[in-house]
Amino acid sequence: MTTTHSEQPNDTVIPILAPLPIRLRPQPGETAESFVIRLAVANHLPPSYLRRLITPGRQGMGPIDPGKLAAVSGRTTEVILRIFGELATRYRPKRTGIAAEQRERARRNSEAKRRRYAAIRRDYNAGMSRRAIERKHNVGWRTVAAALASPVPPPRKKYPNRGRPSLGGLADHVDTFLADHPAASVREIWEHLLDHHHAGVAYTAVNAYVVDRRGPSRRPPPDTLDPMIIWLNGTFGAGKTTTARELTTLLPESRIFDTEEVGLMLRHVLATETVRDFQDWQPWRGLVVAAATQILDYVGGTLIIPQSVLVHRYWHEIRTGLENARVPLHHFVLHAEHDELLRRIETDPTKPNSSWRFERLDDYNAARSWHNQEAHIIDTTDLQPRQVAKLIAAHTEHARAAATDRHPAN
């Protein structure tokens, strides 16, 4: 399900998170990662799902946003920062020019040390004792000895590089998962540890271990992969994003392209052009086609786009652009009965009772006539996202196999 639409056009897009039904009290000395896992399990949610909701971006692999954690846990941001000190240090306000300041500070320190060495050598040549020099310049005997040995201060000693983060005893679980899923991505392994072993391990630790095990991932040449786009259409709140995530675990070399980010990119440029939806901006449709085409040219594989398109003219522009680029397109509409759609919108933890989504139901009903003609309709009323993903994966693999039979490789 898409979660980044604002309720009013041209507003800053801020995810609206509601407190989860079951609230937990943090345990003494508990980390934010451990608290998120306990909170997800108590509310019968996969920890990786909750992690995505409270993390900037959509992958859920970055640092926890204290404001979002406060929203889902029913507390204020100030309380969360006071309880989990690691979030407070991580989210200190960023300042510009830090690198330049550090270079200037290092230069000043080097000059000050040179002047001190010169002063120590002058005092010693004037007959002052070493003990008196130490007291005068407030330095130790090692500094005095170094200054007398050479007028040039020694370079700063280099500290050893940090060791790679530890998996904390989870290596056997990673090895087992890799044995069963050799082509699994690091993200899939990390989410598996989070959901099935409730392990609050850092993504960087998992990535470092997997790279040591099988080496860095090598991007295959684009011509070795059969590029393809799977477009998941349907009304807002139908479960497109959740199904897209499930699809990435079923289809090799697949990735999600969030086309709403293209709309966000255009907001600051076209803010004066008031529209109901960023899809009404013509550049959005053209940029989506161009970006999707270039992404596939670069990495190949399967691009999964969970995006509602309810205006036929807009879809015709996108489809024509992809056809002109000779990109195979598989268009699916995730449908659900009206009562089920209402229930999903009302209970969506990211935007419960979203009036914006309720208003778009009429647009979806109006689009169903052309959806039935131009897309493969999947009734998701009684299906879980994993089941829907398996149906889509089976359909696309069958279509790919049929295309290969019609046009065998030379």
Average pLDDT (204-231) is 74
As a whole-number percent, the residues of the chain with pLDDT over 90 amount to: 36
Beta bridge partners of 306: 232
| pLDDT confidence band for 13 (50 / 70 / 90) | very low
Beta bridge partners of 254: 302
Please report, for the chain, the start and end positions of each structural domain, with discontinuous segments joined by +: 1-93, 111-149, 171-214, 222-406
- Domain 222-406 falls under CATH 1.10.10.10: no
Query: Using alpha carbons only, what angle is made at residue 186 by residues 184 and 190, rounded to the nearest 5 degrees?
Result: 105
Burial class (CB in 10 A: 0-12, 13-18, 19+), 191: buried
Q: What is the mean pLDDT of the chain?
A: 83
Average pLDDT (61-85) is 88
Give the whole-angstrom CA distance, residue 352 versus residue 348. 5
Half-sphere exposure of residue 232: CA atoms within 13 angstroms, side-chain side: 35
362 pLDDT above the threshold of 70: yes
pLDDT in tens, 153-171: 888 777 776 665 677 788 8
**Residue that wins the pLDDT comparison between 184 and 297:** 297
Torsion sign across C-alpha atoms 61, 64, 70, 74: positive
pLDDT in tens, 297-341: 888 889 999 999 999 999 999 999 999 988 999 999 999 888 888
pLDDT at 2 (0 to 100)? 36
pLDDT at 25 (0 to 100)? 92
Average pLDDT (204-217) is 80
Q: In what order do the strands lie in the sheet with 302-306?
A: 254-256, 302-306, 228-233, 329-335, 376-379
| pLDDT confidence band for 42 (50 / 70 / 90) | very high
pLDDT at 5 (0 to 100)? 41
- Contacts of residue 29, defined as CB under 8 A and 6 or more positions apart, other chains included, come to none
Tokens representing residue 217 in the block: 């991932």
1 pLDDT above the threshold of 50: no
* 3-state SS string for 251-300: CCCEEECCCHHHHHHHHCCCCCCCCCCHHHCHHHHHHHHHHHHHHHHHHC
List alpha helices for 43-185, DSSP H. Answer: 47-53, 66-73, 77-83, 85-90, 98-125, 130-137, 141-149, 171-180
302-306 and 254-256 beta bridge pairing? parallel
pLDDT at 6 (0 to 100)? 40
